[in-house]
Amino acid sequence: NLFGKRFLGTGLVTAMDHDVWYRQRRIIDPAFSSTYLRCLMGTFNEMSERLMDHLEEIANTKTPTIMHDLVNCVTLDVICKASFGADLNLFKQTDTPFQKAIDQCLKGMVFCLRDPFFTLFPRNLKTVQQTKDATELLRKTGEKWIQKRKTAIENGEDVPKDILTQILKTAEEENVNNTKDHEQMLDNFVTFFIAGQETTSNQLSFAIMELGRHPEIYKRWMKSLGRKETFHMKILENSPTYLSLVLKEMLRLYPTAPGISRWLHEDMVINGLKIPGGCAVIFNFYVSQRLEKFFKDPLKFEPERFNVNAPKPYYCYYPFALCPRTCLGQVFSQMEAKVVLAKLLQRFEFSLVSGQSFDIKDTGSLRPKSGVICYIKHCS
């Protein structure tokens, strides 16, 4: 809950009961299979082209551009279209209530988790109410989209072959139709936006920032890409490995979430240290992925450290978590990131505006503090 309002509820990320989590995972898994994700390449390409069209208008104008805002529009457009068949087209309508609601919920989540006394101070009441309103907007939007799709399926209408359709069909096969299951479906609706949109836009922003700071890596990336204008699954599967190396190194230095937690139901001993049951154990992979004992020269941006022949420490690099509860959408996210970045770097050159901060801002997820301010020009 977020200030008393149901937010992520008992969705895939937050469910602590294994049986509850497993039942949901079984329903949602088919929507993220490699076979199904192939069908989404058209959406990735289409939404990326909107960014390219927008950049065409501002290229060579010497107008500084905040890249995080732009990639945020792309990733939100992608998750809406690929998951729910909704076309927001944020490059034509900026500052939509839906987009603002996501940002407000992320801010509220940080306050709620880190300050147990936040609601006691009158100066915070406005923020609390804004967060409650934003949470309600997200869940009501989910309710409307889900019900509209259910009705269309029941009436035998043609519906988009998106993630929502796949989930509803699997849920019907599993005989999922009670109120509790419906609330969990709304929980996962919100989860998709928080975990699927915000994290990918942050990764893209950090990628642009680091490539701008390391021109030699940028040139090698460009050499590995070639000149494909439209990307499909086969191209990404067979693409030069340097594309993947850069993204992996990006997630090592800048994991989109700073860590994960696990709840202990009973006492546990780890390396001789007794941890009592009834408490949470937090794993901070932002720290572990920057330790010299695990990675040589850990603060250096070096994609080659993920080369297939390079030594790799176990259980020290896990930006998408580990084991059964590893992130369901990691393939979706990395496919999207590859398409957007490849198209961007094939068509445009960018330089970072001097004097901006390269610090990290923690808003529940990690993002560049400056927003990555760039000058854009067409590739020569």
Sequence-separated (6 or more) residues with CB below 8 Å from residue 326: 320
Question: CA–CA separation, 37 vs 29, rounded Å?
Answer: 11
Kindly provide the b/e burial profile for residues 276-315, where b requires at least 16 CB atoms within 10 angstroms of the residue's own CB: eeeeeeeeebbebbeeeebbeebeebbbebbeeeeeeeee
Structure tokens of 110?
């940080």
Q: What confidence score (pLDDT) does residue 169 get?
A: 82
The owner of tokens 């299951």 is 181
Q: What confidence score (pLDDT) does residue 321 get?
A: 87
Does residue 292 belong to any structural domain of this protein? Answer: yes
Q: What confidence score (pLDDT) does residue 228 get?
A: 57
Domain ranges, residue 156: 18-378
Q: What phi and psi values does residue 349 have, to the nearest 5 degrees? A: -110, 145
Structure tokens of 292?
């010299």
Q: What confidence score (pLDDT) does residue 234 get?
A: 55
The total of other beta-carbon atoms located within 10 Å of residue 247's CB is 21
Cα distances from 119 to residues 3, 100, 125, 348, in angstroms, run 8, 21, 7, 46
Query: Residues annotated as binding site for heme?
Result: 327
Cα distances from 81 to residues 24, 84, 97, 189, 193, in angstroms, run 22, 6, 17, 13, 12
Q: Tens-of-pLDDT digits for all 380 residues of the chain?
A: 899 999 999 988 888 888 889 988 888 888 888 888 888 888 999 999 999 999 998 987 888 999 999 999 999 999 999 888 888 888 887 678 888 898 899 899 989 988 989 999 999 999 999 999 999 999 999 999 999 998 998 898 888 878 888 888 887 776 766 667 788 889 988 888 888 788 899 999 999 999 999 999 888 877 766 655 565 555 555 554 788 899 999 999 999 888 888 888 899 998 899 999 998 888 898 999 999 999 999 999 999 999 888 888 888 898 988 888 888 888 899 999 999 998 898 889 989 999 999 999 988 789 999 999 999 998 87
Does residue 11 belong to any structural domain of this protein? Answer: no
Question: CA–CA separation, 176 vs 193, rounded Å?
Answer: 22
The candidate with the shortest Cα–Cα distance to 68, out of 367, 378, 377, is 367
The domain total for the chain is 1
Does residue 370 belong to any structural domain of this protein? Answer: yes
Does residue 2 belong to any structural domain of this protein? Answer: no
Q: What phi and psi values does residue 159 have, to the nearest 5 degrees? A: -125, 155
Q: What phi and psi values does residue 61 have, to the nearest 5 degrees? A: -90, -5
Q: What confidence score (pLDDT) does residue 222 get?
A: 76
Does residue 8 belong to any structural domain of this protein? Answer: no
Residue spans of alpha helices (H) in the chain = 18-28, 34-37, 41-58, 67-84, 97-114, 125-154, 163-173, 179-196, 198-213, 215-225, 233-237, 241-253, 285-288, 330-347
Does residue 6 belong to any structural domain of this protein? Answer: no
pTM of the model: 0.90
Does residue 13 belong to any structural domain of this protein? Answer: no
Using DSSP's 3-state secondary structure scheme, residue 29 falls into helix
The owner of tokens 């340097």 is 242
Q: What confidence score (pLDDT) does residue 311 get?
A: 84
Query: Residues annotated as binding site?
Result: 327
Does residue 40 belong to any structural domain of this protein? Answer: yes
Q: What confidence score (pLDDT) does residue 195 get?
A: 81
Q: What confidence score (pLDDT) does residue 240 get?
A: 47
Structural Rg of the chain based on CA atoms: 21
Which CATH number fits the domain that encloses residue 373? Answer: 1.10.630.10
